Amino acid sequence: MLTENKFSKYLIYAIGEIVLVVIGILIALSINNWNEGRKNDLKESLLIKNIIEDLRLDSVHINQSLNELVDQIHVVDNLIAKANDSEKILNYDSTGLVRYSSDFRPISQRNHAEPVSNLENEFTREILQIYFLRKMM
């Protein structure tokens, strides 16, 4: 076999087959990694879009809460004025606002505090975590 050089040809053929299989596996792994990265990018993009939408809703809700607080301040001011001037006329329809407590709870913080820690983009993750930490204080 060695004299006919068949063994060395077989060995070269076997090594060539092994190299081709390894190259095929490496190509398949790189395609899989690319696909997983693409899926993760899509998930992150969707998460960021949802956070932006929730921040818009938070903005609307905080403006509503601020308007309610302004109304409460007016009622309290009117009550103080009535206490100082017994002839002042009160609008008793709005005095119930004194008992009302405006409470703002961000939607974005409740919905996204945990998933944000899984973001791969370090800059985006840090900015959002700082934002959520400030909201918790």
Residue 3 has pLDDT above 60, yes or no: no
CA dihedral sign of residues 102, 103, 106, 110: negative
Question: Cα 51 from chain centroid?
Answer: 5
Average pLDDT over residues 6-11: 82
Judge whether 70 lies within some domain. Answer: yes
Residue 26 sits in which domain range? 6-136
Judge whether 108 lies within some domain. Answer: yes
CB neighbour burial string for 19-29, b if at least 16 within 10 angstroms, e if fewer: eeeeeeeeeee
Judge whether 44 lies within some domain. Answer: yes
Judge whether 121 lies within some domain. Answer: yes
pLDDT in tens, 48-68: 888 888 889 888 988 988 888
Judge whether 1 lies within some domain. Answer: no
Judge whether 122 lies within some domain. Answer: yes
Judge whether 104 lies within some domain. Answer: yes
Residue 30 has pLDDT above 60, yes or no: yes
pLDDT in tens, 67-105: 888 888 888 888 888 788 777 777 767 777 777 676 777
Judge whether 123 lies within some domain. Answer: yes
Q: How far apart are CA 97 and CA 73, in angstroms?
A: 9
Q: How many domains does the chain have?
A: 1
Contacts with 107 (C-beta within 8 Å, 6 or more apart), sequence order = 54, 57, 58, 61
- The DSSP symbol for 90 reads P
